[in-house]
């Protein structure tokens, strides 16, 4: 990917991310987050991560964010009048971005670590699956416990009837 495309995408990503934290209305925040996730998915495609990019759309935008919107709508959240001011948020964002990026630049230094051209089949479903089911077999199995716990927890907390 050329530097120009990267810069444009990066601006889109950061712009919509700023939208998430600056928007007054939760639904607008959520939609900005959806856009951020979508642009990130595009960036993943440029990084030869086709599978990850697609799953980003399926899982993040297609399921997790819909859940967010569902809850926002279910609770009918509106613009909060007592919300902190946009300038506070914006200056905090500027400060923290400068802090994190500056710190990293200081620690890492200006290294032009350009990656080599990707091998054939890199980022394909097969290669990712092999990594997931062989090298990362144990973490993969742990996620089953994790999801079970999350399901129990969510049901316990949100179900309507209490004995």
Partner 1 sequence: MWIEIGIAAIKSLVVLLMVLQLAGALGWVERKGSALIQDRIGANRAGIPLFGTNITLQGLINTLMADPLKMLTKEDVVPHGVDRLLHTLAPLVTLFPALVTFAIIPFGDVLVVGDREINLQVARLDVGILYALAMVSLGVYGVVLGGWASNNRWSLLGGIRGSAQMISYEVAMGLAVVSMILLYGTVDLQTMAHEQGHLIGGWLPGWGILYQPLAFVIFLTAGIAESKRVPFDLPESESELVSGFFTEYSGSKHMMFFMTDFIEVIIVAGLGATLFFGGWQVPWLYRDGFHLPGGTLIELPNLVVALLQVASFTIKVLVLCWFQIMVRWTLPRFRYDQLMNLGWKGMLPLALANVVVTAIAVLLVQDA
Partner 2 sequence: MTEMVPTNYYVFLAAALFGIGTAGVLTRRNVIVIFMSIELMLNAVNLVFVAFARHFQSAEGQAIVFLVMIVAAAEAAVGLAIFISIFRNRETLNADEINLLKG
Partner 3 sequence: MLTIPETSWLVVLPTLIVVGTGLLILLVDLWSEGPDRDGLGWLGIAGLVVTGIASVALWNTHEVSFSGGMAVDRFALFFNLLFCLGGILALLMSMNYLENTDIRVGDYYSLTVFSISGMVMMAAATDLIVFFLALEVMSIAIYALSGIWRRQLRANEAALKYFISGAFATGFLLFGIALIYGATGATDFATVQEKLAAAPPELRGMATAGMALLLVGFGFKVAAVPFHFWAPDVYEGAPTSITALMAVGVKAAAFASFARVFTDALGPLMPEWREVVAALALLTMVVGNFLAVLQQNIKRMLAYSSIAHAGYLMVGLVAVNDGGGAAVLFYLLAYTLMNLGAFAVVIAVGRRGQPNEQIDDYAGLGFRYPGLGAAMSIFMLSLAGFPPLVGFAGKLYIFSAAVHAGYVKLAVLGVLSSVVSVYYYLGVLAKMYMAEGTTLLDSPSSRPYLFACLLIAAAGTVLVGVFPSSAYELARQSFAALG
Smallest distance, partner 2 to C-beta of residue 27, A: 10
Smallest distance, partner 3 to C-beta of residue 100, A: 9
Q: Are 30 and 68 within 8 A, CB to CB?
A: yes
Cβ partners under 8 Å of residue 38, min gap 6: 57, 61
What does the per-residue mask of binding to partner 2 show for 74-103, with x meaning CB under 8 A?
xx-x--x-xxx---xx--xx-xxxxxxx--
Q: Are 21 and 29 within 8 A, CB to CB?
A: yes
- Residues near partner 1, by CB under 8 A: 25, 27-28, 31, 34, 50-51, 54-55, 57-58, 61-63, 66-67, 69-70, 73-74, 76, 123-125
- Residues near partner 3, by CB under 8 A: 103-104, 106-109, 111, 130, 134-139, 142-143, 145-146, 148-150, 152-154, 156-157, 162-163
Q: Are 36 and 17 within 8 A, CB to CB?
A: yes
Smallest distance, partner 2 to C-beta of residue 163, A: 15
Torsion sign, CA atoms 133, 134, 140, 142: positive
Smallest distance, partner 2 to C-beta of residue 148, A: 9
162 binds, among partner 1, partner 2, partner 3, none (CB under 5 to 8 A by kind): partner 3
HSE-up (13 A, CA, CB side) for residue 151: 6
* DSSP code, position 84: P
Alpha helix segments (H runs only) across the chain: 3-22, 26-46, 50-55, 65-74, 86-108, 125-130, 137-158
120 binds, among partner 2, partner 1, partner 3, none (CB under 5 to 8 A by kind): none
138 binds, among partner 2, partner 3, partner 1, none (CB under 5 to 8 A by kind): partner 3
């Amino acid at each position: 990917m050329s530097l120009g495309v990267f810069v444009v995408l990066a601006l889109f990503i950061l712009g919509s991310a700023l939208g998430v934290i600056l928007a007054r209305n939760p639904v607008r925040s959520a939609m900005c987050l959806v856009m951020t996730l979508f642009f990130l998915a595009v960036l993943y495609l440029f990084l030869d991560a086709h599978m990850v990019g697609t799953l980003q759309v399926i899982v993040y935008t297609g399921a997790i964010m819909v859940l967010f919107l569902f809850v926002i709508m279910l609770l009918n959240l509106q613009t909060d009048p007592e919300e902190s001011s946009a300038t506070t948020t914006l200056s905090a964002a500027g400060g923290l971005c400068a802090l994190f990026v500056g710190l990293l630049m200081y620690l890492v230094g200006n290294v032009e670590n350009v990656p080599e051209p990707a091998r054939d089949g890199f980022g394909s479903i097969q290669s990712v699956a092999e990594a997931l089911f062989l090298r990362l077999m144990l973490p993969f199995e742990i996620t089953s416990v994790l999801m079970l716990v999350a399901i129990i927890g969510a049901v316990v907390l949100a179900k309507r009837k209490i004995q």
